[in-house]
Structure 1
Amino acid sequence: MSVNLQKGQRVSLVKDANPVKNLVVGLGWDMNKLGKKNYDLDAFAIALTNEDKMKSSKDLVYFGHLKHPSKSIIHTGDNLTGRGEGDDEQINVNLGEIPEYVHKIVFGVSIYRAKKRNQDFGQMNNSFIRLVDSNSRQELFKYNLQEDFSGKVTVLAGEIYRRNEEWKFNALGIGQNEELHELTDIYR
């Protein structure tokens, strides 16, 4: 049974005393009726050290770099239109294969060339992040991003992080003014 989360809520990735080992992180969104067409939203994952820094540029997994070197984080590919029901993009995570230096993985969505196209998240509805146990196919958690992200071009939806050798999830819901390439500069 899935649990709906609120912004800032933190939950364990241990289910029935068993840690979840493989996750599908699904991210989805819809264009509102007033929104312009030709939006290209891109899901991403950033693997961070305990100092909230990337060890290398390969710690960013997105449409241009689909696989982390450890193969523990794999983006399933770019959806250029966002059309359809359910997840618009997915990222697979094997928690048992994540390198020791990675203490946190931030998941988000960024609008491709948002500033050049004068686009922002104010035209989006029904945005969400959800975590699914890959083995059982059961949705564990879902966070519906209900905040108004007008003027923001990137949304940090959630993060998984290590705490006392256990993986946990935090529903973030943070809008950013930086596009993806600018955002990664913050984590270097």
Structure 2
Amino acid sequence: MAVNLSKGQAISLEKAGGGLTRVRMGLGWKAIQRRGLSKFFGTKEIDLDASAMLFSNGQLVDEVSFRKLASGCGSVRHGGDNLTGGSGAGGDDEVIWVDLTSVPPQVDQIVFTVNSYTGQTFAEVEAAFCRLVDDSSGEEMARYTLTGGGPFTGQVMAKVQRVGNGWSMTAIGAPANGRVSGQLLPAITPHL
């Protein structure tokens, strides 16, 4: 059963009977349906991008995004760029896989971000979410829903971090501005 995360809430990623080894972070969204006369022009395509940024002692050491589909160590992989979204009903439009057993020991946090490459604000996006799935079983473990829209083009969604010999996930939900993930670093830093 999935946990619906609130901003700042943390959950353990350990599972009964053994440690979690592979997770999948999914991002889904769709454009807001236009109303009134503007509905005849349809919805405007929105290109949101999911990224994973790997940190060691507060320093960025690697990044996985639509521009770089795998980390140098190969433990984090991106499924490719979706330019329009559209599922918004629970399916993933972009996916990042993390093999927690292969993440180098010096990497202590992986931060997941989303940004609007086409520059629309989140006021123009609905049904946006990120979710964490046990990639072995397909079980959804946690979901964070992007709520509130607003005049922002980026969001620091969540992070996974080492806790002892395991990992935990924290929903961050911090708004930011930037069309690419690297522009979100100032908004990420307070959450490391």
| TM-score normalised over the length of structure 1 | 0.88
| AA in 1 matched with 2:15 | K
Counterpart residue number, 1:153: 153
Relative to structure 1, the CA distance from residue 73 to residue 173 in structure 2 (aligned partners, 3 Å threshold; closer, same or farther) is same
Deviation at 1:145, TM superposition (A): 2.1
Write the distance in 2 (CA, Å) between the matches of 1:125 and 1:185: 25
Relative to structure 1, the CA distance from residue 11 to residue 187 in structure 2 (aligned partners, 3 Å threshold; closer, same or farther) is closer
Cα-to-partner distance string for 1:68-111 (whole Å, 9 max, x where unaligned):
01110000111111023411100000001001121111111111
Counterpart residue number, 1:68: 71
Aligned match for 1:77, one of 80, 83, 89: 80
Cα-to-partner distance string for 1:122-141 (whole Å, 9 max, x where unaligned):
11111111111111111111
Please show how residues 7-156 of structure 1 align to structure 2 within 5 Å.
Answer: 7-34=7-34, 37-51=44-58, 53-55=59-61, 59-84=62-87, 85=89, 86-114=91-119, 119-146=120-147, 148-156=148-156
Write the distance in 2 (CA, Å) between the matches of 1:126 and 1:175: 16
Question: 5+ residue gaps in structure 1?
Answer: none
Deviates most, 33-42 or 70-79: 33-42
Residues paired across the two proteins, number: 179
Write the distance in 2 (CA, Å) between the matches of 1:144 and 1:169: 15
Counterpart residue number, 2:37: none
Q: Identity of aligned pairs, percent?
A: 36
State the superposition RMSD in angstroms.
2.0
Helix, strand or coil: the match of 2:101?
Answer: helix
For the Cα contact (< 8 Å) 1:130–1:140, is it kept in 2?
Answer: yes
| AA in 2 matched with 1:71 | G
| TM-score normalised over the length of structure 2 | 0.86
For the Cα contact (< 8 Å) 2:156–2:184, is it kept in 1?
Answer: no
For the Cα contact (< 8 Å) 1:149–1:175, is it kept in 2?
Answer: no
Deviation at 1:182, TM superposition (A): 2.0
| AA in 1 matched with 2:44 | K
| AA in 2 matched with 1:20 | L
For the Cα contact (< 8 Å) 1:54–1:187, is it kept in 2?
Answer: no
| AA in 1 matched with 2:23 | L
Deviation at 1:163, TM superposition (A): 1.7
Relative to structure 1, the CA distance from residue 74 to residue 128 in structure 2 (aligned partners, 3 Å threshold; closer, same or farther) is same
Relative to structure 1, the CA distance from residue 174 to residue 186 in structure 2 (aligned partners, 3 Å threshold; closer, same or farther) is closer
